[in-house]
A and B are shown apart, each in its own frame.
Chain A
């Protein structure tokens, strides 16, 4: 329903986002992940019509949104990375203001405000000024403000940054419920891989302004699934045994230090039975043995040579 086609954005000649193409299907939950400065917020700002792309197209159901932002704004809920709230007003007053400029009125507005506050679990604190809230509570009001007009697409830009685990779980649960129960399409930005893993059906990995990988979790993991890492603990050290292991078909690397043996081998090679057979021949036991499964963090590491967070 929503797609960007090769969108790029330069700020004073410096490229912030380059040729980003992504799409959101109705009811999907999609993650956008990348380290600081990857261009996530810039991409989101372009999708939500707050910044005009330097080049490229953004389409909602096939219609270009760049010069006609009204349509997409109507169905879009945006939770910006920075709090977009009046600190001097109460949670209720904030919602009332934003709701009324969405042209909601009276009873309907009142119901929606209460519903939004319930969703984020702040109904009992609604009369308090936003500036008296904790960081997590502010972020929840920030989300509530994007829910008032019941958007079909909800874009969240790092909604859990810098808050306590409890608020974080609450937010994640809220987003999941919106997606699963209400059918809201979600675009969720984060640099916490585990959040995106939990929430999203599909994800895009961005780095230096570009999408460097995209797909379902399984698809992304398969990038690393050409190889397995096996670790074995041996009963005694035997150099001849190590040399033999290196000759096993599919083994790329075998390293031993003390009694630990680390083997990197091509996926699907007949490693384990060969290993047991060789150990028998050299009269040593394999005390402990395990295969490590790569995580999405490993995928990121593999793709960029860096970890997501420093």
Chain B
């Protein structure tokens, strides 16, 4: 067995040009894509997304100013005229209006579709998975926010962001709304400072409540490219190894191997192991390079890296399985070139539906669902979730699936593996 593995790895090692291509191409692409896209989109990392946001407005804007006036006179013991002046000032800065203006702005409408709905309707839609997030503007929100801005107290009510499941999309939405809140608070602070030089103005804290909050990291474009290219190119290794098998047939060495009476499984194991190592090293190179040069994963823990290595290992394993199937097929077919062509097509197909070329959310649902059954698609989801949430529980099931995929492939490879020479 060692002889086979050694031989396969040695052959790859000898073909330095191919080895370099295999190892460097994904890295080059990560760099190129990264710079191309970050330049093009002005670092807008979530661009290209189509996020569905339901907005439930429970606040009555017509009453907001009256409420504010009452609150200012009653609770902050301001004089009637003083309060009226503040209300006048505030009427130009209705937070609810500002929120809608913000959601209507060109930057946001590009990626977020806003649905103004009633609450029960919203829940239905959210449960059906049509909404990526729900934003609830509670009753009294405008008055409370403004009051808090003037007094420096914490607001009594806050926006509520709800979601059904934590996904990349929901966290993107969360980031957007959070950004708005920060911006609004900052503006309030400026306004308050401008009109009331003596007043002690504090930036209202919070004002925004995250429901089902999970500590999460954002998912950057660089990270997406790293993960997508790493997984995609490692897939190609399965095909590359099968191509080598084709060469072994053409060069008749396979026949010579058969004549030694060595067990056919050893040949297959040689392919599986070398595919595994190549895929593993390739992906690790991509990650290491992205980290070292592009700082793709800043300040991440050892746990994060261990998990990432684990996922890479599992993906390499399933790719090795795919290599076994391709190898066995190569040994069976009469037209090796056609077979190689088909392998590459299969891999491109896997790459597309697995989301390695374009993010999956641009594809129809049914395709996304099929895509999750490809090892690369599965690993991509695992990695994206791992990068954001670092939750072990979220990767255990998919890990099992990857191992299952590997075992299934090995069984298929063994069944297809020919016992005699090719031309029998």
Contact = CB atoms under 8 A, between A and B. Distances in A.
B255 A74 contact: no
A193 B423 CA distance: 29
Contacts of A97: 3, 6-7
Interface string B219-252: 0000000000000000000000000000010011
B138 interface: no
Given A87-B251, A100-B3, A49 B14 contact: no
B40 interface: no
B74 interface: no
Contact of A70 (B15, B251, B261): B261
Nearest to A131: B14
A52 interface: yes
Contacts of A48: 259
B253 A88 contact: no
Contacts of A93: 7, 10
Contacts of A149: 260
Nearest to A78: B259
A93 B4 CA distance: 12
A101 interface: yes
Contacts of B420: 49-52, 69
Contacts of A98: 256-257, 260
Nearest to B12: A88
B195 interface: no
Given A85-B253, A93-B10, A73 B423 contact: no
Nearest to B7: A97
B256 A145 contact: yes
Contact of B14 (A52, A78, A88): A88
A80 B258 CA distance: 13
Nearest to A53: B424
A70 B421 CA distance: 13
A85 B11 CA distance: 12
B190 interface: no
Contact of A101 (B4, B10, B251, B255): B4
Given A82-B251, A96-B3, A149-B260, 12 more contacts: A11-B423, A51-B424, A73-B258, A76-B259, A78-B256, A78-B259, A86-B7, A86-B11, A88-B10, A97-B6, A101-B262, A145-B256
List of 9 A-B pairs having minimum Cβ-Cβ separation, nearest first:
A50-B421, A84-B252, A88-B14, A100-B3, A84-B256, A101-B262, A52-B424, A101-B260, A82-B252
